[in-house]
Amino acid sequence: MTRKNQRIALIVGGLAFLGIAAGLVLTAFEDSVVFFFSPTDLRAEPVDPERRIRVGGLVESGSVERGPADAEIRFNVTDGNSTLTVRYVGILPDLFREGQGIVAQGRLQNAVFQADEVLAKHDETYMPKEVADALKKQGHWKDGESPYPDAQETGAQQTGGGS
């Protein structure tokens, strides 16, 4: 084998190795990525029931129901256009309440989102970026106004140092 052929073989082998390594990294990365959806997105686009996703929006007023065991909670999340029922077993965050923004992580099974984690907003003006973007996309976001219509009515205020 000539030097030129050896160099070409080495380059081809190196590129093949890099391609295989990149493929393995991307496969591992894909398994750990959790995509965000709004209720409207989930109505329009089917999702594999085994795929972990995040859903965000506002907790619909009057929708929170506690199951026979206090740990089971059902509530609806809305983005203004569509509503999705969420089932969660566990202790909800202290800041969870109707009319507030949440992000839930879990799986969509039989049109009910089975959440294994629920995150609530931390003050009356904070909104997770994904939820804010989804509300803006649906036309339900007004700059300069609180995205939470119930925040002033309930007198909910955050005091303290803020975080």
pLDDT at 111 over 50: yes
* Range of weakest confidence among 60-64, 92-96, 124-128, 133-137: 124-128
- 149 Cβ partners below 8 Å, 6+ apart? 99
Question: In the prediction, which pLDDT does 120 show?
Answer: 87
CATH topology of domain 35-143: OB fold (Dihydrolipoamide Acetyltransferase, E2P) (2.40.50)
Question: In the prediction, which pLDDT does 30 show?
Answer: 73
Question: In the prediction, which pLDDT does 143 show?
Answer: 60
pLDDT at 66 over 50: yes
Binding site for heme, by residue number, is 122, 126
DSSP state of 143: T
DSSP string, 41-71: HHHHS---TTS-EEEEEEEPTT--EE-SSTT
Binding site, by residue number, is 122, 126
Give, rounded to a whole angstrom, the gap between the first and last alpha carbons of the chain.
66
Question: In the prediction, which pLDDT does 1 show?
Answer: 77
What pLDDT, in 10s, does the model give residues 17-58?
999 999 998 888 776 777 888 999 988 888 888 888 999 999
Are the C-beta atoms of residues 92 and 118 closer than 8 Å to each other?
A: yes
